[in-house]
């Protein structure tokens, strides 16, 4: 941006720097498990379930159970942001934009963090003793794009209450603790779809009356996290992810950090620098999935 900084010169008659509309930092960080790690790769061990054995006689031999063990590998990647502010530009401006640059840097890193988390939802997880075994996303955890209220026939639909209930059902069938909070990342299109679902907005079903505020934070036992960075599938449908906190892990080798310093090799311009080293993985296939949502269709809740 340093070559475009003349747009903020005094001739603009602006005493403040206004940030363009953008996602301000990470939306998803607070809804996943976070672990600090050291090194390029880290391993997280897991213990699976095992059945108890019926005792059929007195003084019988003590049985031995083979408790299943598994592990997941997380690999770190480095992200950086940097820009320069020339001291001559500061002279010509009414304000010093250094702090705004630093804020923009942290917002940029936060958006990258969300991209890393979202990629882990249905990306390849690396398992095994040395982390070399590739474990694919479980397609059984996908809620079909045509999921609607029972008795209703419809083609592809947007996000609706029936789809949220279906994702809860999939987690329940996997014996996920019902007390675990279920998070769903939704973009603007799918929020709009939910606001057209009578069972979501009607006072007969929802005392919060979402149409009054135009916002929905929790519905169908799911906590909605606004995030416009969710991706689409090969059919062009929005992939609306759902997960529990223990289902996704964000590993931080170096959390977001920033530095503001002079560069003597750049005529003592001020450099704003920010960086982080992070990685993410799906910790368990049974705790993570996504909902197929048509980006333009209505929610269709009634016949």
According to the model, what pLDDT value does residue 12 have? 45
User: What are the residue boundaries of the structural domains of the chain, listed by start?
Assistant: 28-45+70-293
Q: pLDDT tens digits, residue range 152-178?
A: 667 899 999 999 999 999 999 999 999
Q: Centre a 10 Å sphere on the Cβ of residue 264 and count the other Cβ atoms it contains.
A: 8
126 close to 39: Cβ distance less than 8 angstroms: no
pLDDT along the chain (303 residues), means of 10: 52 51 85 92 80 81 76 94 79 63 90 97 92 94 91 80 95 94 96 88 62 72 94 96 97 91 87 93 96 81 49
- β-bridge mates for residue 47, sequence order: 69
DSSP for 110-154 reads HHHHHHHHHHHHHS-EEESTTS-EEE---GGGEEPTT--STT---
How large is the C-alpha radius of gyration of the chain?
24
In the numeric block, which tokens belong to residue 275?
């960086």
Query: What's the CATH number of domain 28-45+70-293, 3.30.413.10, 3.75.10.10, 3.30.300.30, 3.90.1690.10?
Result: 3.90.1690.10
DSSP for the chain reads -GGGGGGGSGGG--SS--PPS---S-SSGGGSEEEE--SSEEEEEEE---------STTPPPP-----EEEEEEE-EEEEEEEEE-HHHHHHSSS--HHHHHHHHHHHHHHHHHHHHHHHHHS-EEESTTS-EEE---GGGEEPTT--STT---SS----HHHHHHHHHHHHHTT--TTSPEEEEE-HHHHHHHTT-HHHH-TTT-TT-HHHHT--SEETTEEEEE-TT--B-TTS-EEEEEEEGGGEEEEEEEEEEEEEEEEGGGTTEEEEEEEEEEEEEES-GGGEEEEEE-SSS------
According to the model, what pLDDT value does residue 275 have? 93
According to the model, what pLDDT value does residue 36 have? 93
């Amino acid at each position: 941006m340093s070559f475009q900084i003349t747009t903020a010169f005094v001739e603009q008659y602006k005493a403040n720097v206004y940030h363009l509309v953008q996602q301000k930092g990470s939306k998803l960080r607070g809804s996943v498990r976070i672990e600090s790690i050291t090194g390029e790769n880290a391993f997280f061990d897991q213990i699976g379930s095992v059945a108890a054995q019926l005792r059929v006689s007195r003084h019988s031999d003590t049985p031995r159970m083979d408790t299943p063990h598994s592990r997941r590998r997380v690999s770190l990647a480095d992200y950086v942001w940097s820009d320069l502010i020339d001291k001559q530009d500061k002279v010509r401006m009414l304000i010093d934009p250094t702090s705004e640059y630093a804020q923009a840097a942290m917002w940029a890193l936060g958006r990258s963090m969300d991209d890393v988390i979202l990629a882990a939802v249905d990306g390849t997880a690396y398992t095994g003793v040395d982390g070399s075994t590739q474990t694919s996303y479980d397609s059984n955890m996908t809620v079909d794009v045509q999921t609607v209220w029972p008795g209703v026939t419809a083609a592809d639909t947007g996000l609706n209450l029936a789809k949220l209930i279906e994702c809860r059902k999939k987690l329940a069938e996997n014996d996920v603790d019902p007390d675990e909070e279920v998070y769903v990342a939704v973009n603007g299109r799918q929020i709009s779809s939910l606001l057209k679902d009578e069972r979501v907005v009607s006072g007969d079903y929802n005392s919060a009356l979402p149409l009054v505020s135009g916002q929905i934070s929790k519905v169908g036992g799911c906590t909605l996290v606004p995030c416009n960075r969710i991706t689409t599938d090969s059919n062009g449908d929005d992939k609306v992810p759902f997960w529990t906190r223990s289902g996704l892990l964000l590993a931080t080798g170096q959390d977001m950090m920033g530095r503001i310093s002079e560069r003597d090799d750049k005529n003592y311009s001020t450099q704003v620098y920010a960086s982080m080293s992070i990685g993410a993985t799906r910790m368990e296939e049974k705790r993570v999935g996504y909902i197929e949502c048509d980006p333009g269709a209505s929610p269709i809740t009634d016949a």
